[in-house]
Amino acid sequence: MKRVLDACRGSRMFWFDKQNEDAVFMDKREVSEELCDGRMLEVKPDIVADFRDMPFDDESFYMVVFDPPHLIKAGENSWLGKKYGILEETWPSDIRQGFEECMRVLKPNGTLIFKWNEDQVKLREILNVIDYKPLFGNRRSKTHWLVFMKESG
C-alpha cells in the first residue's frame, strides 16, 4: 500500500520526484495538451476521481496532499484554467467536502498538507468553511502551505 495521496495531482508541479513510487496521484481530469506558450500540459493521474468523493477506504494514508483548484474566474479554455483547474460556484461546500474526505482517508495522527493561492479567494475564506485548524504554515506571495494533523482515534 502506498503511504501518500496527492488528491489533486494536476501536473505534479511541486513534486521533486514526479514519479514517486510511494504516492498515489489522483485527479478528476486527464489532459495532454500543448499550451499557448508551447509547453505541454500533462495531467495523467494514477486514479481519475473527484476529491469530494475519494475511492479509498477510511484511514488509508499517512499523508495527504490537497492542492485544489483556486480560481473562480478563468476561462474554461484559458491557459490558467487548464493548468490549475477552476472552482465551481459551490466552492465553499466543495472545499469543505474535500477536507472531510482528506481527513477520512488519513490514518490517525496522519498529516494533511494543504496548498492554497489566494489570488481570487482569500485563505481566511477557506479557513471559515472548514472545521480544521492548521498547526503551522508558510506564505510566499499569495501562495500558502498549511499543515494539519488528524486527531488520533
What fold, for 4-149?
Rossmann fold (3.40.50)
Q: What is the pTM of this model?
A: 0.90
Residue 140, CA distances (Å) to 13, 39, 91, 117, 118 in order: 16, 25, 23, 9, 11
Q: If the chain, 153 residues long, is cut into consecutive pieces of 10 residues, what is the mean pLDDT of each piece?
A: 87 70 87 74 87 97 95 76 81 97 98 95 96 95 96 82
Beta bridge pairs of residue 32: 42
pLDDT of residue 16: 73
Q: Are 129 and 96 in contact (CB under 8 A)?
A: yes
How do 61-66 and 4-6 pair as beta strands?
Answer: parallel
